[in-house]
Amino acid sequence: MSATPPVRIALSRRGYPGLDDAPLPEGAELVLPDEGAPTDDAALRALAADCDGLVVSTPDRVDAELFDAAPRLKVVALVAVGFDNVDLDEARRRGIVVTHTPGVLADATADLAFSLILMARRLLVPALDTTRAGEWGAFDPQAFLGLQVAGATLGIVGYGDIGSAVGRRGAGFGMTVLQHSRSPRPEDGIAEAVGLDELLERSDVVSLNVPRTPETAGLIGARELDLLGPRGTLVSTARGGVVDEDALLAALREGRIHSAGLDVFATEPLTDAASPLLHEPRLVCLPHIGSASVETRTAMTRMALRNVTAVLSGDDAPNVVPPLRG
């Protein structure tokens, strides 16, 4: 009688914090890419080929081609809350369970959204660049004159775990908070629920916290930015493509909005140093680091591996991705 082969779990990246003491099925083998190995689609297919479980991150594309290359696969566990990189219909068709990590990254991502708000509104990037360059000149009452956060109105588009965590921070900063979600959320005593146009018109600062779906693609374009207006700041820790980047650049250049901050882009990674996005003085750009704290990434890794372990042990996974709301 042949022995049962050990359970194999591939991880698309090295270095997930918390991996050393993450829960694993009995006797499981972890399959990691070699140090410095490519992380493209072909590399992921090769890595997952003989594996039962696969742990992936936001940039990894999980599609039919990958599933074809990995016939043993039973579970794909995202170390992420967003799942727009996974072909869910194809996974479902093949009986492959897809899980994600909701909740645990809400505070880290809300902290980052708030960092973008403060950086953009108070012109902190040009101020830092000037200081670092040794160009701190004589006092000029007009220098780095930003707009105040306290007392301003904060509109949150997408009021789930992350959006509501941004709302709590806004309230703590003395802001009036508005929320808009496709499916109305109960009032929480922090944020008044309004329609999207009303939110844009009434807000000084807008934070985008929606998932990327066909409905949210291009949600914020020239018309919406004009509703926000010349004293408005837009920040996004959602997904690239929710904001029309060309429209955003035009609105910033023409002074039709005050400032903006993006942690997410239509094309990631943003490696073109000549990209106009990276040279717009009132646009703060960060490299998609919403969940990048030790505590949060550790919790995400553990959650992802708990999900893999549950599925491979024949149990229900606690964090199966929900069906997309149409």
Residues that bind ligand GLV (CB under 6 A): 58, 80-82, 105, 290-291
CA–CA dist 265, 207 (Å, integer): 15
Closer residue to ligand GLV (CB): 228 or 300: 300
CB of 108 to ligand GLV, least distance (A): 10
Q: Which of 258, 288, 297, 302 is catalytic?
A: 288
User: Toward ligand GLV, which CB reaches closer, 114 or 173?
Assistant: 114
Helix (H) or strand (E) holding 284: strand 283-285
Select 232 or 261, whichever has its Cβ closest to ligand GLV: 261
Output the 3-class SS for the chain.
Answer: CCCCCCCEEEECCCCCCCCCCCCCCCCCEEECCCCCCCCCHHHHHHHHCCCCEEEECCCCCECHHHHHHCCCCCEEEECCCCCCCECHHHHHHCCCEEECCCCCCHHHHHHHHHHHHHHHHCCHHHHHHHHHCCCCCCCCCCCCCCCCCCCCEEEEECCCHHHHHHHHHHHHCCCEEEEECCCCCCCCCCEEECCHHHHHHHCCEEEECCCCCCCCCCCECHHHHHHHCCCCEEEECCCCCCECHHHHHHHHHCCCCCEEEECCCCCCCCCCCCCHHHHCCCEEECCCCCCCCHHHHHHHHHHHHHHHHHHHCCCCCCCECCCCCC
CB of 78 to ligand GLV, least distance (A): 7
Which of residues 22 and 149 has its CB atom nearest to ligand GLV in the complex? 22
Give whichever of 169 and 297 is closer to ligand GLV, judged by the CB atom: 297
Given the complex with ligand GLV, which of 58 and 99 has the nearer CB atom?
Answer: 58
Catalytic pick among 169, 180, 239, 302: 239
In angstroms, give the least distance from the CB of 299 to ligand GLV.
12
Is residue 268 flagged as an active site residue? yes
Residue 239 annotated in active site: yes
Smallest distance from ligand GLV to CB 318, Å: 17
- 47's enclosing H/E stretch is helix 41-48
Beta pairing class for 259-262 and 233-236: parallel
What is the nearest approach in angstroms of ligand GLV to the Cβ of residue 30?
21
Residue 142 CB, nearest approach to ligand GLV (Å): 37
What is the set of active-site residues? 239, 268, 288
